[in-house]
Structure 1
């Protein structure tokens, strides 16, 4: 057995069932063991698509997404996807080749050569491992999966030189990670419970780090009678609950709710500006009397808090629920309702119309996963939107903010959860970044419903230019005929002239049980 074959066997031992990648001459040996394995290989049309598919797979399934890419340009093509995964704490394993060991750093001009590939990728990945000898691989994989299981996740990279891939590796066995996330310290939980006992206007702020903790989150909110403010990456938690506030902390109404709170618990949120200061007005102030719960010590250290609890969100919330005294009902429901109503009223008529698109999809196809690109309906819904499925709303319009994320990420999500309807919302501009991934959806049989918001250009950027007196330039790239392109890939498609036509189109799309494209032409 070669090292390349052993890699596949070790990935299987770690529970990997899908790999996204494009084979090349520098990764042929990594593919030697795939045909006889239980791992499914999905071929995107670009390595960036491989990374985004792995990202969507991970967000939908909760398991690490894995990508195989070639040396040099394959890896650099995937860096953007790794940057998004780093920003949003998504577990992603990227495995690449690298040139033969004796040539590294010499500048001989070999195919796909970089001056320092591991140094380059190490600036984006949480860790980057160079495997010079076969016996180094099990530990590198164990380290990656330990990070995914016990710490704030993100992208991890492993590179294997061309001349190491063919080395004998019969004796390798998996080092399975038994790492657990940090557990809450009892004294800190008791202190937090004491602070909660004295609070008259408690509040909970929730980010994407708590998206797997809905049940203890709901119980804590009800015990404290505390409104729950959800950032974009936390949407889908406490759906429809009277204490839920699915609105951006950038809204004046939500900031007022925070200002008036006398005790705030922040769970799994980094207080990032794209959530808390979207308009760049510097109006957000970290709340006083703050208890912060986060799995990452570095993240906790970035903002002052009255009390910090480094722990997994579910474990910390479970412990806190057990420790707090159940408060008599005060005015939590009323405060939450007032914040919801006032925040929604801050949406302009145009944003409200764009939000209606997303709400129509949710109401027509309940329980779906909605994956977004950077486009107007997604921006509107990131401001205010109550999704009906935990971890079922995600996009790249916050944090790193890549374009072209939506289509491949939706494919990854659909392959991770084949029994769940997956809808991708993309603008005509962003869709063109990864338009060929329609072919990958067709090949893989991923029944994604692609909804294209066609306003013939980068209208959000055009509006930004106009608002500051800059004459718009470069914001009107001509869109293709999306219906013809879908047809060229053998994908059914239809064009709508109004949002009113959308529900019936969505039902037709779901009935197809295959990739389907719906274009909405925007006036």
Structure 2
């Protein structure tokens, strides 16, 4: 651990004193929710846990939305916060930042919350957190240290985290999965965020998936969190289009489906009651995924890299299966033009301007999930970070800051609507302070455009969705950033190219 995200406060000064002595970098966002999203962005691109330090009460709760998002997207975050003292009465006594049950509140949104009871228990609580990150499904956790323990002296033995032991796949399950894929008439592959983890096996899962697809004649689709794990320029790749009705119909028609590192949840499919008709092979490090909405016919509980290596070896050894030639998919899905027409020109400009290794960080905004998700193809080593499932707003800017801190030599670009950006626009100050080269592309439609459209579709008169927005260009300049409004796609291309070379953040506004 070399970086933490958080804000100093009265009760956590002892922590900050030790962080400074240890030479750990302390990044100070302007809001604890921003600290959580920044830690999430950092974790997603580096593969290392993102660490958040807050003070008690409102500060810890401010970070809770980010923990909920990280839980949904399986990001390894550690929140460390003080809590009320060990002798604090349950009924309360008016203590500063007092919460009735801070640990219990945060426990409801993450994998677990551990309130330590002694100095010697502190190392064990932290080791438990890092052990969880190393083993199984990574999810956020919280360690609460009573405020009186932080300045107390005592004996504490450092506890190492659990030894990293990637779960080895069952050979018989791999044999059956390989047989089913080789004999399938209409096989399909679905790759999720669990296939996208950075580290030694990054991209290898995607490469192995494409080799398997070529051997058995299968198309490959990804979830949003899986976007970028396989080259979307490949003729067999359908991109991150699992939410499109045409792709869902194709997947339902497959007689064998291999799903790797994905919940196949309603937030991925944009459909609550979706049914697969074929045989389902699931590869996941979380055994609980085998019994979700889509029960596995063949369950491979394993690290995705190890499972795909074993599966590919078996299929390759048996030889390729003769299959008809598959045509490239782009332009053949009717919904694509309808969903992306509003942003097609500007998304094309983005595609021309962005280097292949760009990390694109999107907010829950229409330009992202109706536009860039489908119409901006991405090949490795490009990455696409997005808040799925929990579906928070305000994610993109602070997560982009965290991603840029984690990967300073990679281009990072933020995409957000004007409504989403205003949830965390104050983090412009953080990006300026850190002198980050960070283009921030804002699609401005005067409020919450998606909700406005949903109201109209219900026959409602839009209410409470048309919002006053600031002059984002002037606001950017006031923060010390650069700002520019663009009209045409060519203007956007030019502005983005300049922003990628700037020494401070640049806010680029597209008025829809």
Output the TM-score relative to the length of structure 1.
0.92
Output the CA distance in 2 between the equivalents of 1:356 and 1:183: 46
Question: What is aligned with 1:322?
Answer: 313
Q: Which moved more, 1:127-136 or 1:249-258?
A: 249-258
* 1:364 maps to which of 353, 369, 373: 353
* 1:305 maps to which of 296, 304, 327: 296
Question: What is aligned with 1:95?
Answer: 80
Output the CA distance in 1 between the equivalents of 2:94 and 2:335: 57
Q: Give the Å deviation of 1:383.
A: 4.6
* 2:255 maps to which of 262, 266, 269: 262
Q: Which moved more, 1:29-38 or 1:165-174?
A: 165-174
Query: Would you say 1:232 and 2:234 are equivalent positions?
Result: no
Question: What is aligned with 1:4?
Answer: none
CA deviations 1:231-253 (Å, max 9, x no partner) are 11111122111111114223232
Structure 1 residues not aligned, in runs of 5+: 1-15
RMSD across aligned C-alpha pairs, in angstroms? 1.7
* 1:342 maps to which of 326, 332, 343: 332
* 1:291 maps to which of 259, 281, 291: 281
SS in structure 2 opposite 1:236? Answer: coil
CA deviations 1:287-312 (Å, max 9, x no partner) are 42111111111121112221111111
Question: What is aligned with 1:113?
Answer: 98
CA deviations 1:416-438 (Å, max 9, x no partner) are 00000100011111111101100
Question: What is aligned with 1:193?
Answer: 178
Query: Would you say 1:71 and 2:56 are equivalent positions?
Result: yes
Query: Would you say 1:508 and 2:483 are equivalent positions?
Result: no
Output the CA distance in 2 between the equivalents of 1:172 and 1:399: 39
SS in structure 2 opposite 1:436? Answer: helix
Question: What is aligned with 1:124?
Answer: 109
Q: Give the Å deviation of 1:109.
A: 1.5
Q: Give the Å deviation of 1:45.
A: 0.5
Q: How does 1:374-385 map to 2 (within 5 A)?
A: 374-380=364-370, 381-383=372-374, 385=376
* 2:385 maps to which of 385, 391, 394: 394
* 2:15 maps to which of 19, 23, 30: 30
CA deviations 1:480-511 (Å, max 9, x no partner) are 01111111111111111223311110111112
Output the CA distance in 1 between the equivalents of 2:154 and 2:485: 54
Q: Give the Å deviation of 1:314.
A: 0.9
Q: Which moved more, 1:33-42 or 1:431-440?
A: 33-42
Structure 2 residues not aligned, in runs of 5+: 197-201
Output the CA distance in 2 between the equivalents of 1:237 and 1:390: 8
Query: Would you say 1:277 and 2:267 are equivalent positions?
Result: no
Q: Give the Å deviation of 1:451.
A: 0.8
Output the CA distance in 2 between the equivalents of 1:355 and 1:29: 52
CA deviations 1:25-83 (Å, max 9, x no partner) are 01111111122223111000000000000001011111111100111101111110000
CA deviations 1:147-173 (Å, max 9, x no partner) are 112211111100111110012256532
